[in-house]
Structure 1
Amino acid sequence: MALSNDDIQACSRRLHQAEKTRTQIRQLSQDFPDITIADAYAIQKAWVDVKIAEGRVVKGHKIGLTSKAMQSALGIDEPDSGVLLDDMFFADGGIVPTERFIATRVEAELAFVMSKRLSGPDCTLFDVLNATDFVVPALEILDTRIERVDPKTKATRKIFDTIADNAANAGIVLGGRPIRPLDADLRWIGALCFRNGQLEETGLAAGVLNHPATAVAWLANKIAPLGLALEPGQVVLAGSFIRPIETRKGDTIQADYGAYGSVSCYFA
């Protein structure tokens, strides 16, 4: 790690303030050119710890950058991850208050709800299926507390910035029909995604590392060296299989998963 503990704590406070004031901050990768992936996750953890100290409760995890195209664009060879907190969950068909966020986007995913503790380092796809209570269609709400383009250098946001920013996570909507993990070939679950009744994106869950359970196994193995595991009852967003849909106040987003139901929200 290149950053000192003081730097890590200072970055976490900047992110926390950015979220509260809805004001994006300068890219951390510009202020700290030697920042590492380990530094970025340390900043993320420090920020989550601030939120926990304020009363938030960890409810699960999200996995991002699960497509090879996105990984190649960012110069990495694995996904990233963030933490889901209790105040990030919104009701299916309910209201998402835009005044909480900066610039929201939405993705369609599958969420895994764990029935058993799942710990690495040798988790497989089959271990994930055996440790999952059910899988459910979900929307992930993305927001970024860090500028996409630096106004001075014109540099774009880097993977270090995204990871530190809790992997751009801001919210989650669970909906649709719960699916027992062995009752369907999860690869072939698809979604039609609409904004205000207009079709915007389509995709298949196989776009997530060829099988969404593979992403969950990756996460369990990734956090094992930290002494962490996926716990019973936790929700894991396995990764998006569509391009993000930009949203504005007044938009209704709906993802139709066919036989597996639908999930929607309204940005008020």
Structure 2
Amino acid sequence: MGQASQTLQDAAAALLAAYESGTATPPLTETYDDLGVADAYAIQLEQVRSWTAAGRTVVGHKVGLTSAQVQKQLGVDTPDFGHLMDDFAYLEHDPIPVGRFLQPKVEPEIAFVLGKPLQGPGVTLTQAIDAVDYVLPAIEIVDSRIADWRITLVDTVADNASSGAYVLGSTPTRLEDVDLRLTGCVFTRNSQIVGTGAGGAVLGSPISSLVWLANTVGALGTSLDAGHVVLPGSVTPMSPVAAGDSFTATFAGIGSVTARFAS
């Protein structure tokens, strides 16, 4: 086995160990020399293979780094993606155990549920629109297995795009009934407003994020499947989480969703 392959497996093992131990690992970019973005996705996929081998299933994808502010912070000009596993999903209002996560934060998103598969590269805007069955209000719980969130692009990509979990609202809305670019959101923590934004904060439109995702994973041989959930990116900055917190994201024309964390 080549050294490069062993390095990628070691890095994946370090992240998997962080899940098990509850102790974050130092940034991979400080531990392993010359890791690139392609290496980071290979590390991510190594973990996904481990999870699926254990009986978990992929139920969708998330897109991160979609806001200009976050891209500037990390010095990048492109989003990234991660995999959503079946046990990432929590029902609205069910208590979410904070102890499952290492360093959780939350953010409101407009989730897509696909009615048709999307296979890139070459997916167009109109094809992406045609593939969407409906949208739902969503709250994503983001988390990092990297100590103190000291992440570079490579670190977050390797760490499954800092995925944690998600909660979906229960009222579906058809795309033709809403303008996602102009859809406003009010995000509250324990009834206090912690963020406001609109769908246009996500690459100009969340649909653009879906197109980017389909074409990016398509180039790697992966399709987006019917029934899958896509979290296209946050419309506000992240908010930290503490035990006992309750967050609600209210989207104009789409509805609201609440994530409640066990005290």
Distance in 1 separating the partners of 2:208 and 2:191: 32
Distance in 1 separating the partners of 2:7 and 2:207: 35
Q: Is the 8 Å Cα contact of residues 16 and 47 (structure 1) preserved in structure 2?
A: yes
Within 5 Å, which residues of 2 pair with 1:113-262? 113-148=113-148, 156-262=150-256
Distance in 1 separating the partners of 2:137 and 2:90: 14
Distance in 2 separating the partners of 1:226 and 1:112: 21
Q: Is the 8 Å Cα contact of residues 7 and 32 (structure 2) preserved in structure 1?
A: no
Distance in 2 separating the partners of 1:143 and 1:232: 27
How much has 1:69 moved relative to structure 2? 2.2
Could you tell me which residue of structure 2 aligns to residue 31 of structure 1? 31
Q: Deviations over 1:218-248 (max 9, x none)?
A: 0111011221111101100010010001010
Helix, strand or coil at the partner of 2:164: strand
Q: Deviations over 1:186-237 (max 9, x none)?
A: 1111211111111110110110011100001001110112211111011000
Helix, strand or coil at the partner of 1:223: helix
Aligned length, in residue pairs: 261
Helix, strand or coil at the partner of 1:171: strand
Could you tell me which residue of structure 2 aligns to residue 153 of structure 1? none
How much has 1:176 moved relative to structure 2? 4.9
Distance in 2 separating the partners of 1:226 and 1:102: 30
Q: Deviations over 1:49-82 (max 9, x none)?
A: 1111111100000000001222122122110000
Q: Deviations over 1:9-47 (max 9, x none)?
A: 111111111012110001100012311000000000001
Q: Is the 8 Å Cα contact of residues 183 and 253 (structure 2) preserved in structure 1?
A: no
Within 5 Å, which residues of 2 pair with 1:77-88? 77-88=77-88
Percentage of identical aligned residues: 40
How much has 1:119 moved relative to structure 2? 1.2
Runs of 4+ in 1 over 6 A off after TM superposition: none
Amino acid at match of 2:17: Q
Helix, strand or coil at the partner of 1:71: helix
Distance in 2 separating the partners of 1:136 and 1:37: 31
Could you tell me which residue of structure 2 aligns to residue 52 of structure 1? 52
Distance in 1 separating the partners of 2:158 and 2:6: 15
Q: Is the 8 Å Cα contact of residues 94 and 264 (structure 1) preserved in structure 2?
A: no
How much has 1:3 moved relative to structure 2? 6.7
Amino acid at match of 2:37: I
Distance in 2 separating the partners of 1:3 and 1:34: 13
Give the structure-2-normalised TM-score. 0.96
Q: Is the 8 Å Cα contact of residues 114 and 234 (structure 1) preserved in structure 2?
A: yes
Amino acid at match of 1:117: P
Amino acid at match of 2:93: G
Q: Is the 8 Å Cα contact of residues 114 and 133 (structure 1) preserved in structure 2?
A: yes
Amino acid at match of 1:169: S
Cα 1:190–1:3 change in 2 (3 A) is farther
Q: Is the 8 Å Cα contact of residues 156 and 162 (structure 2) preserved in structure 1?
A: yes
